Amino acid sequence: MAPIAVGDVIPDGTLAYFDEQDQLQEASVHSLAAGKKVIIFGVPGAFTPTCSVKHVPGFIEKAGELKSKGIDEILLLSVNDPFVMKAWAKTYPDNKDVKFLADGSATYTHALGLELDLSEKGLGTRSRRFALLVDDLKVKVANVEAGGEFTVSSADDILKAI
């Protein structure tokens, strides 16, 4: 399947997360993004070095600036279970704006065409690193990394594109 691209409508799918009351929730991607301007960014895995030290902190630090430019939601997607995503989210106590969403079986990642086979590293199927700017379900910017790079999908890259 071809990767999601500018002009495409994002597929619907169900992702899991823990809410503010520490209750496990499931939500459709369309319910999170319909009628809104959102950023969906994906990382290969929770607690991994580039994701934890650069990618996620960038979106947390730039959340105010992104929201001032009309972004309604910042959605982080990773092929991890919701319990891992909850534990990872707790390592960012200052985070108020990035929602940590679990795609435990990579079903949604496959629907986006952004899966990455990291079996040789013992990680199985993961997500490519990416950042999408989506306006009412339609992709306006699709910054997808090659391999393990981190050159086009940062919060700063999205800010430049808005």
- Can you state the percent helix, strand and coil of the chain, rounding each to 5? 30, 30, 40
Q: Report DSSP letters for 65-116, one per residue.
A: HHHHTT--EEEEEESS-HHHHHHHHTT-TT-SSEEEEE-TTSHHHHHHT-EE
Rounded to 10 degrees, the C-alpha dihedral 52/103/4/50 comes to 10
CB atoms within 10 A of CB 140: 14
- By three-state DSSP, how is residue 19 classified? coil
**Active-site annotation holds for 51:** yes
Q: Which of 51, 75, 139, 158 is catalytic?
A: 51
Token digits for 146? 């090659």
Query: Known catalytic residues?
Result: 51
